[in-house]
Structure 1
Amino acid sequence: PKESPTNSFIEIPDYHSACVVATHEGTPLHKLKPGPKNIVGECVQLNPGPLDRYKNALKQFVDCL
């Protein structure tokens, strides 16, 4: 029998800040570096832990495609 669809779900952590920075800078998500970013006069902090968790989840998702 085929694998149960529920075993195919992958949790992707929230990546709002990373998405804003990537879109504003035109940087692919996999190339984002942690640290403070200035986005239209607002300071956006990309912390390494959440950014690494998001990158790992994204890699896991892509590997399933």
Structure 2
Amino acid sequence: MSTPSRRNGCPVCGKPATAAATPFCSQGCRDRDLLRWLGDGYRVPGRAIEDDEAESASDGLDRNRRPPL
């Protein structure tokens, strides 16, 4: 027996999605997914930020950007 396809089901457990919790099967799976995003369960691919870059980015200013003409 094969495992259920996540493409057509809940992205957490693979069960069929419900209309009330789409694309998840239940509020429980919806909450688990949110907790994974809030923790380190999911990561968006990209290069790592160096410590000095993180400090300069914390003020919200892009110091390397040229002003518009």
Q: Same fold (TM over 0.5)?
A: no
TM-score by length of 1: 0.28
TM-score by length of 2: 0.27
**Structure with the higher strand share, 1 or 2:** 1
Structure with bigger RCO (C-alpha 8 Å, 6+ apart): 1
**Structure with the higher helix share, 1 or 2:** 1
